[in-house]
Structures are given as structure tokens and as C-alpha cells.
Amino acid sequence: ALVDVARFTTRKGAELVCNYLGFLAGDSEKKGPTTSLYYAISLLLCAILFPKAAVLGAIVCIALGDPVAMIVGKSFGRVRLRKKSIEGSLAGFLVCVPAIFLVASSWRVAVIGAFAGSLVEFLPLPLDDNLTVPMFSGAVMALMIMYGW
């Protein structure tokens, strides 16, 4: 997030970021905000809006589920919807369930929260999944926790 501030507010910041970190950026990140900005915004909003267990579950969904889904999807994905694969989403889900259980102490919250995160990650939404996955999965888990599901 700080990299984006430096990159968009000063010419020197833009040059430094481009010269030293440009190889890390995807095509859309070279002209717009980096995914780390969306990541930081979504986790900040989760921390403000949701109970602790839902925040930790949302972090699990984006920090574990998203990279596992990408790696498995790129390596083994056969059934695709645009650039996402069912195999990748399933792998992300399977990794998230036990990890969310460790922070939420409820298998029901873990399974439904992981499913919510995997579903949003799989759908071809126009928003960055670093924003949508934690917000949606965190909201679902927060509602479950607050209403005792």
C-alpha cells in the first residue's frame, strides 16, 4: 500500500518502484493500484467491521486459500471459467477449512466460510479478489458467529 502511495504521488517514487519492483507487477498493476493495496484495504475493513474469529478466518481465506487455488489451478486445472479453475477453487477450500477451524473453533463456520471465500475467488467478478474474498468470507463468518450458527 505504501508502495502505491509513493508511486502515484511523486515522480521519483514512480521511478524507484518501476526500476526495482516493476518485475513483480502484473499488467494491470503497472498502470493501476497493486493487489497489495486491495489486500490492505480489505483486511483493515474486516478488522473494523467483524469479530476477531471472522477477521482471522478472512485472513486465512486470502492468505492460504487464494495462493493455493492459483498454484493448483495453474498446475492441474482442467475445468475453467475464464481464468479460474474448479480444481484450484476446491484446493483452496480444502486448505481453508481446517485452518479456519483453528481460529473459529467451529466446523460449521469453517466449512461455510471457506466455501464463501472459494466461491467468490472462483467467480469472474470485476473486482480484485484480494478485496472480495476477505470481505465476503469475513461477512459470512461474522454473521454466523454473531447469530450463533
State yes or no: pLDDT of 22 exceeds 80. Answer: no
- The per-residue pLDDT for range 58-75, each reduced to its tens digit, is 999 999 999 999 999 999
Q: What would the grid cell of residue 138 be?
A: 469475513
What is the reported pTM? 0.81
Say which residue, 57 or 13, is predicted with more confidence: 57
Grade residue 17 by pLDDT with cuts at 50, 70 and 90: low
State yes or no: pLDDT of 54 exceeds 80. Answer: yes
